[in-house]
Amino acid sequence: MRSNLLAALVAALAIAAPAAERISPERCHCSFDVPSGWHVQQIAPCAFGLRPKGWPRIHGREDDRDFGKYAITIRVTRQSFREAARLGFFQRVDALRKEWNAADALPQKKPTDWMVLGRQASRDDATWIRSDGWFGLRGATTVGYHYRRNGTGYWGLDSAYRAVLSTGRWRTAIIMADNPFTESEFDAVVKSFKFQ
CATH of the domain at 55: 3.40.1000.10
pLDDT band at 142; cut points 50, 70, 90 = confident
pTM: 0.82
Looking at residues 139-152, what average pLDDT do you find?
75
| Confidence at 155, pLDDT banded by 50, 70, 90 | confident
Q: How confident is the model at residue 33 (pLDDT cuts 50, 70, 90)?
A: very high
In the prediction, which pLDDT does 17 show? 43
Total tally of structural domains belonging to the chain: 1
CA distance 33 to 99: 37
Residue range of the domain that includes 156 = 4-195
Whether 169 contacts 78, CB under 8 Å: no
What does the alpha-carbon distance between residue 109 and residue 93 come to, in Å, rounded to a whole number? 7
| CB distance 98 to 106 below 8 Å | no
- Which residues lie below 8 Å from residue 165, measured CB to CB, with a gap of 6+? 129, 131, 134, 135, 136, 172, 173, 175, 190, 193, 195
Model confidence pLDDT, tens digit, residues 64-81? 777 778 989 999 999 999
Q: What average pLDDT does the structure give for the chain? A: 81
